[in-house]
Amino acid sequence: MLNIRGLSYSVETDKGTQSILKNVDLDIDSGRFVVITGPNGSGKTTLAKAIMGLIKPDSGTISYNGADITGLSVTERAKLGISYGFQQPPRFKGLLVTDLLSIAAGRDMQEGEYCSYLTQVGLCTSDYLGREIDAALSGGELKRIEIATILARGASLMIFDEPEAGIDLWSFTRLTDTFRSIHQNTGATIIIISHQERIIRLADELVLISGGEITQRGSVESVLPQILDDTVPECAYIGEAAI
């Protein structure tokens, strides 16, 4: 169970203080599949980073499974079972794909285990086991490896920040299957930040953030039509191009 209370975060800009999150309250039950959506700049990624501890909120609390984790480090939260897939994952010269998966799993694995994680994200495993995570990988490959590390981590709370960004159409279909499978088979709580309707439709619950505040939440059936009705076609943020 994830409980967020009164979470606020602001940054200093040339124009003064800008509020990114405004007194956000959010409860997510264990095992739920929640998609957070909203326009660019609405605070979605900031909220996800605050849960992982990658940014420190100005005020508010975050609890996970009854324990207050607001003051815990990223490492301590990871050890409690929270994981985070970066929107733009970093590259590592010299580290191999298998090294990163081993770090994620906390142990060395058999080749078959590495392969199973890579296959789930649509990578042909024999091409990737010995590859370095360097500039030779495309953005899409890097993103898929990032998702594979979250799978290998086996966390109880998996946060994915726009996992579809940079992934081609074929892999996108595989990706939605992967998320559905994780949800059905692992019991993990899944939070995905996404603009993609096909990912949104996988969710048990949809949360809409706008201007740093949660403006709507509920089942996909109840919330999505309202979002689509409110969206002007020329400036739609719900993406259908890759669907």
Partner 1 sequence: MNSIEKNLLVQIADLHETPIGAYNIREDGAAAGRKSTANIEITTKTDKPGIDIRIKPHTKNESVHIPVIITKTGYTEIVYNDFYIGEGADVLIVAGCGIHNSGCDTSQHDGVHTFYLGRGSRVRYVEKHYGEGEGTGERIMNPNTIIYMEEGSYVELETAQIRGVDSTKRYTKIEASADCEVFVTERLLTHGKQTAVSEMDINMNGAGGKAKVVSRSVAQDESAQTFYPRMSGNAPCFGHVQCDSIIMGNAKVRSIPEIAANNVDAQLVHEAAIGRIAGDQLLKLMTLGLTSEEAEDKILSGFLK
Residues that bind partner 1 (CB under 8 A): 52, 54, 73-75, 78-79, 83-84, 86, 88-90, 92-96, 99-100, 103-104, 106, 149, 153
Residue 195 and residue 238: Cα distance in Å, rounded? 5
Q: Which is nearer to partner 1, 77 or 195 (CB)?
A: 77
CB of 44 to partner 1, least distance (A): 17
- Residue with Cβ nearer partner 1 (96 or 109): 96
In the complex with partner 1, the residue whose CB is nearer, 158 or 223, is 158
Alpha carbons 175 and 235: distance in angstroms, whole number? 26
Nearer to partner 1, 106 or 187 (CB): 106
- Could you tell me the CA-to-CA distances from 124 to 128, 145, 173 in Å, in that order? 7, 11, 16
- Which residue type, as a one-letter code, is found at position 91? R
Calpha distance 46→55 (Å, rounded): 8
**Residue 179, burial from CB neighbour count under 10 angstroms (0-12, 13-18, 19+):** buried
CA distance 174 to 155: 21
Closest approach of Cβ 162 to partner 1, in Å?
Answer: 15
* Closer to partner 1 by Cβ: residue 95 or 236: 95
Q: Which is nearer to partner 1, 132 or 205 (CB)?
A: 132
The least CB distance from residue 64 to partner 1, in Å, is 14
Minimum distance from residue 52 beta carbon to partner 1 (Å): 6
Of 154, 198, 149, 144, give the one whose Cα is nearest residue 176.
198
Beta-bridge partners for 11: 18
Q: How far is the CB of 104 from partner 1 (least distance, A)?
A: 5
Nearest-approach distance from CB 68 to partner 1, in angstroms: 20
Judging by beta carbons within 10 Å of its beta carbon (0-12, 13-18, 19+), is residue 56 exposed, middle or buried? Answer: exposed
Vertex 241, ends 236 and 242: CA angle to 5°?
130
